[in-house]
Amino acid sequence: METPGQIRDRILARFSGAEVTVVTNPGPAAQHSLLVGAAHATAIATFLRDDPVLQLDTCSNVTGVDWPGREIVETVRQPLAPEEDADPAAPPGVIEEKIKRLVPGSLEVVYHLYSVALKHGPVILRLRTADRAANVTLPSLTPVWRACEFQEREVFDLYGVKFTGHPDLRRILMWDEFQHHPMRKDYVEPDDYEWEPTPHDAVLTKARRHYPAPPAAPEEESTP
Amino acid sequence: MSEAPPAPAAPEITAAERDELRRHGILLTSLEELYNWGRSNSVWPLQFGLACCAIEMIAASMARFDIARFGSEVFRPSPRQADLLIVSGTVTKKMAPQVVRLWNQMPEPKYCIAMGACAISGGPFKQGYNVLKGIDRFIPVDVYIPGCPPRPEALLHGLMQLQEQIRAQKISGPEAPRHLRPEASGEFPVPEFGGSDLVPPRNPDLWEPPTIVRAE
């Protein structure tokens, strides 16, 4: 099977203006994936399915990833302007400036594609939303692979990605009245903690919050 | 005519003496005993499974373990005909209203067995957001069977414990079970789906969280 780089080159040759980048996986699995821009996603998916060399006719898995926004601290080193009475032989001073930069988060949908006809795979597609709050719309690939239907509903339910073009976008695991997306990193579960025999870590913190400390022991009477 | 002296109180008959009488063809019994004997030997469960515990429940009903030995082989597909709700598996919060509704649809007298760790306390999913932490928050449970999942023998043992409970029930007086007290209702409020949890999260008449003061 072609490498992700070769597939990317063929996609770029076919669709001018498409955004496709190879996301390398540094782990031993080395499952590299293709990050596809949302604008051309449906056309690229159709191309991957119908291409005679690839024939990726099966979408075996759709899942989601939540990338919360994070703060990056960058250190910038700038040479200090030399003072007038300084020793010219001394090395010039360096000032370090720390710049905080906010990287916006995004929601990601991952598709694992296989070819049953040619017995190869997987080719991994990734789609990313613009952010995690308002612009969480992505094109649905259900019209390309029918198997995506329930799994895209699951991603909608648990991550809150809205798929345009999905035939029946409803919650699939949680009830319809549920208002949150439980697989997001900032989801706070309902506070229905109960007694736990051996609490530790986060559960211990919860236990301390729920069960008050015992009243202070009465002070021992000091001998007169 | 003088009044007859009051009859002396009948002495208690021990089980051994009763067995001896039975051997001679004399059956001494009470209506209560007869009634409970009949009921305890024909506990019909609801044909209702939730998770992997249901597989063990099915195994218990098959020939090797043979729940028919205890008169409970008639798994009814309708709650209207069932006496026993075996909550066999994980009760998710999405499923909990339906379980309570099934329980409400069963006619009295009815009994509930919480089978397995999930039905008792949420089990391995206790810290999750989507699993009810024990069906006893909404339904009165008669027998708890621990295990993950419990083996069919454990289910049979739980059934035998339930039969003993039924045999010990009084048919009159203040200790009578729920179905013989007119003021007690067999209907329990069905929780509704809320924005982030069930509303209410538990039935306060049935269950309150324990008040624990931590040790340290």
Q: Where are the domains of chain A?
A: 4-210
Contact present, B82 and B45 (Cβ < 8 Å): yes
Residue B149 has pLDDT above 80, yes or no: yes
CA distance A132 to A134: 7
Q: Which residues of B touch A211 (CB under 8 A)?
A: 212-214
From CA A115, how far away is CA A111, in angstroms rounded? Answer: 13
Winning range, highest mean pLDDT, from A90-94, A217-221, B5-9, B30-34 = B30-34
Q: Quick one: closest CA in A to B92, which residue? A: A174
Residues 6+ away with beta carbon under 8 Å from A119? none
What average pLDDT does range B197-202 have in this prediction? 88
Residue B130 touches chain A, beta carbons under 8 Å: yes
What is the pTM (predicted TM-score) of this model?
0.81
For residue A138, the model assigns a pLDDT of 93
Q: Looking at the predicted complex, does its ipTM rise above 0.85? A: no
Share of chain B above pLDDT 90, in %: 56
Predicted confidence at residue A220, as pLDDT, reads 55
DSSP code at position B143: E
Burial class (CB in 10 A: 0-12, 13-18, 19+), B189: middle
Looking at the domain that runs over B44-170, which CATH code has it been given? 3.40.50.12280
CA distance B8 to chain A (A): 55
The answer to whether the peptide bond before residue B77 is cis (omega within 30 degrees of 0) is: no
What are the boundaries of each domain within chain B?
A: 44-170
For residues B66-72, give the mean pLDDT.
Answer: 92
Residue identified by tokens 């994980």 is: B90
Q: Is B159 helix (H, G, I), strand (E, B) or coil?
A: helix
Res A223: pLDDT = 47
Contacts of A219 (CB under 8 A, 6+ apart): none
Q: B127 to chain A: which residues are within 8 Å by CB?
A: 203
Q: Is A219 left (phi over 0), alpha (psi -120 to 50) or beta?
A: beta
CATH for A4-210 is 3.30.460.80
Residues 6+ apart with CB under 8 A from A114: A56, A57, A58, A59, A60, A120, A121, A122, A123
Contacts of A199 (CB under 8 A, 6+ apart): A206, A207
Tokens of B79: 């709650």
pLDDT at B69: 92
Low-confidence residues of chain A, pLDDT below 70?
82-88, 90-92, 212-224
Query: In a mutagenesis test of the A interface, which of B203, B214, B216 is the best target, namely the one with the most A β-carbons within 10 Å?
Result: B214
Instruction: List the single residue in B129, B201, B209 with the smallest CB-CB distance to A182.
Output: B129
Which residues are CB-neighbours of B132 under 8 A, at least 6 positions away? B91, B92, B93, B96, B122, B138, B198
Torsion of CA B118, B123, B124, B127, to 10 degrees: 110
Q: Note whether B130 contacts A208, CB cutoff 8 Å.
A: no
Does residue B82 carry a pLDDT above 80? Answer: yes
Q: Which of A173, A189, A211 is opposite residue B212, by nearest beta carbon?
A: A211
Compare all CA atoms of chain A with the CA of B132 and give the residue at the minimum distance.
A192
DSSP B131: B
B38 burial class (0-12, 13-18, 19+ CB within 10 angstroms)?
exposed
Eight-state DSSP code of residue B94: T
Radius of gyration of chain B, Cα coordinates, nearest whole angstrom: 21
Cα separation, A172 vs B25, in Å, equals 64
Average pLDDT, rounded, for chain B: 88
Annotate B182-201 with DSSP letters as a single string.
Answer: TTS-S--PPPEE-SSSEESS
Helix B52-61 with B152-167: angle, nearest 10 deg? 70
CB B139: neighbour CB atoms within 10 A?
25
Tokens of A68: 């919360």
Confidence at residue A86, expressed as pLDDT on a 0 to 100 scale: 65
Tens of pLDDT along A7-21? 999 999 999 888 899
- Residue A178: which of B126, B133, B195 has the nearest Cβ? B195
